[in-house]
Every structure is written in structure tokens, then in C-alpha cells.
Amino acid sequence: MGQGLGELDALMREEKRLTALESQTEAWADGLSAGIEPELIAEVALSTAFTELLRTCGEDAAVALVDRMRERIIAGEFTAGICRH
């Protein structure tokens, strides 16, 4: 008859993820347009994200996110067109 609750939750989460990505992409572009170096934009974005995650979810959630992101970096998920060793 339709989608199950799990499928609906997954669709809602993906929609939220895409909205967040759009917001972050716009903020990144605004920073670059203002002459801010990409490394500084990234550092501030990560600092803000971890500050908020620690405030709302605690240290374990922040450490788990760092671990997941580290694995994704090592796997090359964020690397486009760069040779990996």
C-alpha cells in the first residue's frame, strides 16, 4: 500500500541531509566570495559543528563522528580526482 515507516524515516532523513548540504554549500560560497581562505572556512565549520554536537549530544557522539569521518577520509570518499597512495 505504500512505504513503510522505516522507508519514510529514511526519505525524511535524506531530505534533511540535502537541505543541510545546500545550506552549507551556500555558506561556503559566501565565505569564498568574501575572500576567506577555504582552510579557515573549513576550520570554523568543523569547530562550530563539534561545539554544537558536544552541547546537544555529548562527547561520545562527537568522538563517534570523528571516527566515522576519519574512516571515510581514509576510504577516499571525499577525494575527487586526486591520486591516493
Per-residue pLDDT of 10-62, as tens digits, reads: 999 999 999 999 999 999 999 999 999 999 999 999 999 999 999 999 999 99
- What is this structure's pTM? 0.74
Q: Distance between CA 54 and CA 59 in Å, rounded?
A: 5
Buried b (16+ CB within 10 A) or exposed e, 39-70: eebeeeeeeeeeeebeeeeeeeebeeeeeeee
Where are the domains positioned within the chain? Answer: 1-36, 40-85
**Radius of gyration for the chain, computed over Cα atoms and rounded to the nearest angstrom:** 16
- Taking alpha carbons only, the member of 75, 20, 73 closest to residue 49 is 20
